[in-house]
Amino acid sequence: MGLIGSVRRAAFTRPHLLLLTAPGAAEVRIAVERFARRRGWPLADSPADADALVEAGVLHGEMAEVAETVWRQLPAPSIRMPLAVPAEVEPGLADLPARLASWRPETGEEPEAAPELSMADRAEDRDGLKLDVLHVPLGPLLPHWPEGLRLVTRLQGDVIQHAEAEVLGLGPDTRSFWAVEDRRAARRLDAIARLLGVAGWTAMQWRCQALRDRALADEPRDRLVGDLKAAAARIRRSRLLRSELTGLGAVAGTGDAADRLHQWLTEVVHDLRAPGGELAGSHPSAAEWLDMLPDTVVGAELTAARLIVASVDLDTAEAEQRSTTGVHHG
Amino acid sequence: MVEQSPLWSVLLLPVALGALALFAASLNAGFAAAAAGRPVVAAELAGPLREGTRLLVRQRRRTARADVLLWRLGAGGIVVAALLASAVIPFGGFAVSDMPVGVVWFNAMEVLLWVLVWMVGWGGNSAYSLVGGYRFLAQGLAYELPLMFALTAPPLAAGSLRVGEIAQAQESLWFVVWMPVAFAVYLIGLAGVTFWGPLSSPASSDVAGGALAELSGIDRLMVLAGRYLMLAAGAAFAVPMFLGGGHGPLLPPWLWSVLKTLAVLGLLVWLGWRWPRVRPERLMTPAWLVLLPAVLVQVLIVGVLALARG
């Protein structure tokens, strides 16, 4: 027992966390991300790799159903950990390794049979050939994905033929964490980190997350601005990143994904120097983005669609409950 | 001349390749710690061992209506392919099998990953893992042809497909000096085979882990270990092909082989952290319009020089 016990303790010193965040619960998510980054706990990409399902914020309605479904997909041993407020993050997560090491299966609980999957349909693709069609919901559980957003897509190969956007889990008490004006720089840094995460530039993603956390912690601005400028310059210098983003999700007024990233970088530096003030350029609201998103991602390959969604800085907590549709024409 | 090692060296090969793979994984964990702003201490470098233990004690989960046979053959097969590929690599004067068609053998084992990674993606019966499997094939279409031509340059210069003889031919001058394009294309191809760094989209987080999305427990461990083993085998193969094999001053040849392999591994891991990912659908154009012509010109130059030298 002693040997098995110590093996299990060693195995779970750094559990993998699967984050499911309610709209408006960005503060809890950020606290979990900071904890994980500092301790070297990986954030899992999918339920199969997760030791714990971390529910950030209070999950309402369909988000609670999603959490229930996801929870059943975690391999044993696993812990379900609701964290409603930021203060619960440190103590809750710190207990996790010990709880996993001493985990015992609950008796008497039969695993439910998974629902039967539907077979793929067939339809004509872009070139008029018959090709399988899959109905794939993107989100709300995906890495680097806006909280509570679900994009119900029809995929042929990995090209999106049809999309509907909706925001799940909006409750009567849902408030945007970002509505406060002096958090604007941190919000942009959060969006930049998310976009870099989707683009696969992990090192720079973490660097921007650390800058975001410092901006939220009200650290003296002088040093922060210096570090930020260095990071912004490095991001701007990456020709590969620029070419990956150019031409994606072009929307009148904001340009394409590359333009939006550069706009954010300019705004962050500006905001930290002189907080507040009017923003230059056009900044569509959450409702407007939800309207535009389906049409923007239709016809895009899955990778491109993910980059487009990450490039719009959609604050789902500001959305009203409804869904929007986009269809591929031609 | 490279000697055929005694039969027991077959048992040594997995240990040696495993140690190289562990080195690469530890180095990667070190880079991750540094990127996240944590001090790079022993506990960080031990990450892969901890992770391996974790995957061994976790449940091996199955998805609904998974194609279990293909799934598990794919996961285990990657480890086997990497070990088979490394059989022809000489470490100093010894190779497990210095067969006359060693280069072709390595290429064949590396191409096995096309079907193996696809099987891992298909077997899980989920949209994301299927997308991951197909991304691997799409990338393969882009990098494989330039990679194959890059692999023909050293045999052309050495006049042999025997890996030992290719290393021998570099006693005075390393091939990387006059075939830098072939070497660069080889490294790009190796990143593609091991879905590494900018070419990691088959297993990337934007599709929830892609081909890895549904893997848990030992199955996940097999794929992750196989990937590092393949990376190690590819780095070790670059040494006799381009970097002079065991040739070098003072130190014994086997040590030179190991040191050069570690250097190539270090380079690959470091480069993996430097760049964003390339979108898989954008790889084809530069691969066929830039890499392929460039490597063909390289092979032409090597051919002319080899003829001129008689």
Q: What residue ranges do the domains of chain B occupy? A: 3-308
- Please report the residues numbered 277 through 306 in chain A whose beta carbons come closer than 8 angstroms to any beta carbon of chain B: 301-304, 306
A-chain residues within 8 Å CB-CB of B134? Answer: 157-158
Report the distance separating Cα B16 and Cα B262, nearest Å. Answer: 12
For position A113, what pLDDT does the model report? Answer: 53
| A224-239 confidence digits (pLDDT tens) | 999 999 999 999 999 9
Residue ranges in chain B whose pLDDT is less than 50: none
Percent of chain A surpassing pLDDT 90: 62
- Inter-residue contact B216 to B61 (CB < 8 Å): yes
- Cβ contact, residue pair B205, A198, below 8 Å: yes
Smallest Cβ–Cβ distance between A206 and the set B36, B59, B135 belongs to B36
Residue-level pLDDT at A276: 64
Transcribe A200-221 into DSSP letters: T-HHHHHHHHHHHHHHHTT--H
Q: How far is A142 from chain B (nearest CA, A)?
A: 6
* Interchain contact A124–B (C-beta under 8 A): no
Give residue A319's pLDDT band: very low, low, confident or very high (50, 70, 90).
confident
Asked if pLDDT for residue A126 goes beyond 90, the answer is no
The whole-angstrom distance between B249's CA and the closest CA on chain A is 38
A158 and B214: CB-CB below 8 Å? no
Closest by alpha carbon to A212, among A83, A1, A33, A14?
A33
Q: Of B130, B205, B212, B221, which to mutate for an interface test with A (greatest number of A Cβ within 10 Å)?
A: B205
Residues 71-100 of A with CB under 8 A from B: 73, 75-77
Identify residue B214 by its one-letter amino acid code. E
A279-283, A302-306, B146-150: least confident range:
A279-283
Which residues of chain A lie closer than 8 angstroms to B282, CB-CB? 243-244
Q: Using the Cα atoms of residue B32, residue B35, residue B38 and residue B41 in order, give the sign of their dihedral.
A: positive
Calpha distance A6→B53 (Å, rounded): 11
| A143 vs B contacts (CB less than 8 Å) | 205-206, 208
Question: Contact B36/A10, CB-based, under 8 Å?
Answer: no
Contact A240 B206 (CB under 8 A): no
Q: For B126-175, what is each residue's pLDDT tens digit?
A: 889 999 999 999 999 999 999 999 999 999 999 999 999 999 999 889 99
Residue of B126, B206, B278 best to disrupt the A interface, most CBs of A under 10 A: B206
Look-up of token digits 């016990």: A5
Q: Do A117 and B61 touch (CB under 8 A)?
A: no
**Do the Cβ atoms of B50 and A144 come within 8 Å?**
no
Stretch (H or E) spanning A56: strand A52-56
pLDDT score at A1? 55
CB-based contacts of B61, cutoff 8 Å, min separation 6: A48, A73, A75, B214, B216, B217
Contacts of A51 in chain B (CB under 8 A): 54, 58
pLDDT digits (tens, 9 = 90+) for A46-82: 999 999 999 999 999 999 999 999 999 999 899 999 9
Residue A95 has pLDDT above 50, yes or no: yes
Residues of A in contact with B224 (CB under 8 A): none
* pLDDT band for position A153 (cuts 50, 70, 90): very high
Nearest-by-Cβ selection for A11 from B50, B215, B279: B50
Q: Do B273 and A203 lie within an 8 Å CB cutoff?
A: yes
Percent of chain A at pLDDT above 70? 88
| A202, A211, A240, best to mutate vs chain B, most B CBs in 10 Å | A202
How many residue contacts between A and B have a Cβ separation below 8 Å? 146
Are A198 and B282 within 8 A, CB to CB? no
CA distance B258 to B148: 24
Residues in chain A closer than 8 A to B273 (CB atoms): 202-203
Q: What pLDDT sits at residue B40?
A: 92
Q: What is the ipTM of this complex?
A: 0.92
Over residues A193-213, the pLDDT tens digits come to 999 999 999 999 999 999 999
**Is residue A112 over pLDDT 70?**
no
What is the nearest CA distance from A60 to chain B, expressed in angstroms? 23
Alpha-carbon separation of residue A206 from A37, A244, B204 (angstroms): 8, 20, 16
**Mean per-residue pLDDT of chain A:** 87
> B interface mutation test: which of A18, A41, A49, A79 has the most B CBs within 10 A?
A49
- Chain B residues with CB-CB distance to A206 below 8 A: 35-37
Q: With 90 as the cut, is the pLDDT of residue A242 above it?
A: yes
- For chain A, domains (ranges, CATH) are 2-101 (3.40.50.12280), 177-327 (no CATH)
| pLDDT tens figures, A253-279 | 889 999 999 999 999 988 888 766 666
Residue of B nearest to A245 (CA): B279
Question: Stretch A169-187: mean pLDDT, rounded?
Answer: 87
Residue A120 in tokens: 């793929």
